[in-house]
Structure 1
Amino acid sequence: MVDIATRVWNHKWKIDPIVRSLIDTDFYKLLMCQSIFRNKPNTQVIFSLINRSINVRLADLVDEGELREQLDHVRSLSLACGESTWMRGNTFYGKRQMFTPEFMDWFETMRLPPYHLEKRDGQYELTFEGSWPEVMLWEIPALSVLMELRGRAVLGDMGRFELQILYARGMAKLWEKIEHLRKIDNLRLADFGTRRRHSFLWQDWAVQAMTGGLGEKFVGTSNCLIAKNRDLAAIGTNAHELPMIYSALAQTDEALRQAPYDVLSDWHEEHDGNLRIILPDTYGTEGFLNNAPDWLAKWTGIRIDSGDPIQGAENAIKWWKIRGEDPTQKLVIFSDGLDVAKISELQSLFHGRVRVSFGWGTLLTNDFRGLVPNDALEPFSLVCKAISADGRPTVKLSDNPNKAMGPADETARYKRVFNVGQQSVQRIIV
């Protein structure tokens, strides 16, 4: 077991680079990348860092030189031989050779494209521009680097014993959560915490703790490198960037209305089984389900990632019934702002009515709340999103207006096209 406190105390990042592999990323990124490589390889996109928690002034906390050094290190990475073997030869979701030889030939020689970085009003403006299959792979490393550098800045003045006690308390806090989760019958839970983790070492420790503490109730991790190293299932399907970019490319209102379904039509051709999971909230879940083609109702399940999760699951159950499907055979994955109490509540409410699963993110891999003065390690909401595609702005409406993004005029157009009315504002936990 790694002594995390000692490694942090050494402050030698070349021993522990924040991102140490191209597969130190979420599994859905690789699945989406292959789909994009096949269907939209020449689309030109811009991704940008967005700090929703503006009270956390990253440019005042994180040294620019150190940030550039870490980002430059990420650009130097290439796929290692053992990593390529894992991707080419492993079985994912029951399928051998999930990644095609054509995609792997490209991925094995790929390097991440350049970045643009500057400071503005206490924040970093960090953008990435180029072809979609390359630029999209910056999202997770960029977030991981910024989150860990912020943590290192907070911990930088702590002594060795302070760090040892801090990590001991953090471990005890997580273990208390695990002890509570152990008591929940029929639980299925995965680690979704890569993008806003405290550090790679901490995420790796958390995954080991979940494996040892929960046994078969812990079903895997979204982090590909940890899945490979710990012989765990890699978990993930798709994300909002697909409908956001497909929609931005639409030239007419009718094409825009159809774009979220075009995404899933392309996905349908490549994947089956538990990879056929609908993510419906990009432009409002209610409208998406009401207008969805019948073949989507036959998909395996749905992921709820914004809005009221109880209402979201109830809406999905109602939709399946209307479409003649048996909800008890469908999978509902909850993945928004989860912690133990909410996991317990949702499991109690929906077990037996649907197949329930959880993707537990930031409050698994980065919960040091109350453990340092001024709560300086409190997790915050940092994202990296596509903001344009082929020169056209992207828009996200979400089921929670606090997660919406895009220019005002385009946002108004999208609300009209997708018939989005009054929405309930939800506090963003992380």
Structure 2
Amino acid sequence: MTQPKKSGVAASQMRKRRRKLSSAPRSILDNDLYKFSMGNAVLQRYPNIRVAYKFTDRRCKGNWTPEALAVLQRRINEMARLKLTAEERAYCVVALPWINRAFWDFLANYRYDPSEVSVSLDASNNLKLDIRGLWCRTIFWEVPLLALISEVYYEYIDTNWSEDGQVEKMEGKAQRLFDAGVAWGDFGTRRRRHFAAQERVVAIGKKYANFTGTSNVYLAMKHGVKALGTMAHEWVMGHAALVSLKHANRAALVAWKEVYGGNLGTALPDTYGTDAFLRDFDGELARLYDSVRHDSGDPYAWYEKLVAHYISLSVDWRTKPAGFTDGNTDTSAIEINGYVRGRGGKCWFGIGTSMSNDYGDESPAVAIVIKLYEVIDQHGIVTKVVKISDNPEKAGGDHDALRVAKYTHLGIPLDAAA
């Protein structure tokens, strides 16, 4: 049922309350761990590579306003004031020892540069945004920008929601996951309703022994839980441009091993489809990497495919926990967990939007992403990069680059539609 329109005074009061919950990130660590782990790897291996990212709203409704855009721009500008504090640095050195101290020197001197971000509205009042600059600098923008976009959207555009019942709803989800023995962590930074909504997930989750931590480094530090995360699709996409499109997965996994020496051993398989990944995931890599995480496509068929691959390599798949991070809810996580454990396997879950942005059907969560779009090497050569995914709806990138990637990895003729 649609909520009644509020009076001007009531609406103004509601906006003020919501702004207290939101605002710009509290800390330079209010970001997901994989941005720091990838940032460290990029700084070591590709310090002079330039890149571009593009924003996509998968459910764009043409309802952004000039007022909301101005607020978003102001908050982007405010990001420039963030810096790593002495307390935060001390925490990172101890809690994240596999990132070398030289990286924390870099981050201590790092400041967000808003000129790297271009934001506007198109003719249909949809948000447009891109990021350009050195990869080792711009890599940190994605997650906090998405969080800011989501927060501004729900403060100024979709205001048909309230905090009523949110604590009880989250308590119920955490209890059900505990009762089912599901190992899960919070992955909710990117599309959270606001900062307090994600903090509520962590504060409630940590009361239960099956809660494994959070992807958000600031919240991990504040609440004394483990920071979670390894790599994202952009690490693989970057290697497609810099090393090999056909063997981007292998190049990315080998480079990761050389930076981290076996730490952070979770592989991401679906950048160009899981079949392409498995062709590169040989016995050595399968033994080295502790886990592979599902991020698109049918989770049950994917799991059986992964198990069969381990068996073909004479690797004991029961010792390799599978991760599931593709838009899970507490219900889907419980079901998948039951299936995997029933097979004799192990698994873990990263649950994001359904925890940090679940405010009912009348105010659904946004479906927004920022993805690497092009890579410019040290010679100035520009290469468009794409993601194919195991779910066609998640595929994205330049039209012609998609055609080439689909031909390379899937054998789809170049003259077929991208």
Same topology, TM > 0.5: yes
What displacement does 1:80 show?
1.4
Matched residue SS, 2:271: coil
**Equivalent position of 1:188 in the other structure:** 183
Distance 1:335 1:407, change over 3 A: same
RMSD: 2.2
What displacement does 1:85 show?
1.1
Q: 2:350 aligns with which of 343, 359, 382?
A: 359
What displacement does 1:175 show?
2.1
What amino acid does structure 2 have at the position aligned with 1:67?
Answer: L
Tell me the distance in 2 between the aligned counterparts of 1:326 and 1:140: 35
Matched residue SS, 2:90: helix
**Equivalent position of 1:105 in the other structure:** 105
What amino acid does structure 1 have at the position aligned with 2:100?
Answer: T
Whether contact under 8 Å (2:55, 2:129) holds in the other structure is yes
Matched residue SS, 1:59: coil
Q: Is the counterpart of residue 341 in structure 1 residue 327 in structure 2?
A: no
Distance 1:11 1:72, change over 3 A: farther
Whether contact under 8 Å (2:18, 2:155) holds in the other structure is no
Tell me the distance in 2 between the aligned counterparts of 1:313 and 1:344: 15
Pairwise mapping of residues 12-411 of structure 1 onto structure 2 (< 5 A)?
A: 13=19, 17-55=23-61, 57=62, 59-60=64-65, 63-90=68-95, 92=96, 97-113=97-113, 114=115, 115-120=117-122, 121-154=124-157, 166-185=162-181, 187-212=182-207, 215-250=208-243, 255-271=244-260, 275-298=264-287, 299-351=289-341, 353-370=344-361, 375=362, 377-390=363-376, 391-411=382-402
Matched residue SS, 1:126: strand
Tell me the distance in 1 between the aligned counterparts of 2:84 and 2:202: 23
What displacement does 1:17 show?
2.5
Write out per-residue CA displacement over residues 85-105 of structure 1, whole angstroms, 9 at most, x where no aligned residue: 111222x4xxxx322122111
What amino acid does structure 2 have at the position aligned with 1:44?
Answer: R
Distance 1:107 1:308, change over 3 A: same
Matched residue SS, 2:231: coil
Whether contact under 8 Å (2:65, 2:125) holds in the other structure is yes
Tell me the distance in 2 between the aligned counterparts of 1:280 and 1:110: 31
Instruction: Identify unmatched segments of 5+ residues in structure 2.
Output: 1-11, 377-381, 414-418
**Equivalent position of 1:427 in the other structure:** none
Matched residue SS, 1:127: strand
Whether contact under 8 Å (1:45, 1:388) holds in the other structure is yes
Tell me the distance in 2 between the aligned counterparts of 1:394 and 1:191: 29
Matched residue SS, 1:359: strand
What amino acid does structure 2 have at the position aligned with 1:365?
Answer: S
Tell me the distance in 2 between the aligned counterparts of 1:392 and 1:273: 30
What displacement does 1:312 show?
0.9
What amino acid does structure 2 have at the position aligned with 1:322?
Answer: S
Whether contact under 8 Å (2:317, 2:345) holds in the other structure is yes
Matched residue SS, 1:63: helix
**Equivalent position of 2:6 in the other structure:** none
Whether contact under 8 Å (1:74, 1:141) holds in the other structure is no
Tell me the distance in 1 between the aligned counterparts of 2:13 and 2:189: 19
Tell me the distance in 1 between the aligned counterparts of 2:141 and 2:355: 23
4+ residue runs over 4 A deviation: 6-9, 11-16
Whether contact under 8 Å (2:373, 2:398) holds in the other structure is no
Using structure 1 for the length normalisation, give the TM-score: 0.86
What amino acid does structure 1 have at the position aligned with 2:98?
Answer: M
Whether contact under 8 Å (1:47, 1:136) holds in the other structure is no
What displacement does 1:155 show?
6.8
Write out per-residue CA displacement over residues 190-248 of structure 1, whole angstroms, 9 at most, x where no aligned residue: 00011000111111012111122xx2100100000000000100001100001112112
Whether contact under 8 Å (2:83, 2:111) holds in the other structure is yes
What amino acid does structure 2 have at the position aligned with 1:280?
Answer: P
What displacement does 1:275 show?
1.5
What amino acid does structure 1 have at the position aligned with 2:189?
Answer: T
Identical amino acids, percent of aligned pairs: 27
Whether contact under 8 Å (1:116, 1:127) holds in the other structure is yes
Q: Between Structure 1 and Structure 2, how many residues are aligned?
A: 392
Whether contact under 8 Å (1:18, 1:199) holds in the other structure is no
**Equivalent position of 2:379 in the other structure:** none
What displacement does 1:16 show?
5.3
Distance 1:54 1:420, change over 3 A: farther
Tell me the distance in 1 between the aligned counterparts of 2:13 and 2:72: 19
Whether contact under 8 Å (1:220, 1:232) holds in the other structure is yes
What displacement does 1:347 show?
0.7
What amino acid does structure 1 have at the position aligned with 2:373?
Answer: I
Tell me the distance in 2 between the aligned counterparts of 1:342 and 1:103: 38
Matched residue SS, 1:256: coil
Whether contact under 8 Å (1:46, 1:387) holds in the other structure is yes
Whether contact under 8 Å (2:24, 2:78) holds in the other structure is no
Whether contact under 8 Å (2:98, 2:263) holds in the other structure is no
Tell me the distance in 1 between the aligned counterparts of 2:257 and 2:270: 18
Write out per-residue CA displacement over residues 304-344 of structure 1, whole angstroms, 9 at most, x where no aligned residue: 00011111111111100100101110010000010122111
Matched residue SS, 1:193: coil
Tell me the distance in 2 between the aligned counterparts of 1:137 and 1:295: 31
Whether contact under 8 Å (2:22, 2:151) holds in the other structure is no
What displacement does 1:61 show?
8.1
Instruction: Identify unmatched segments of 5+ residues in structure 1.
Output: 1-5, 423-430
Distance 1:305 1:16, change over 3 A: closer
Tell me the distance in 2 between the aligned counterparts of 1:86 and 1:141: 20
What amino acid does structure 1 have at the position aligned with 2:346?
Answer: R
What displacement does 1:58 show?
5.0
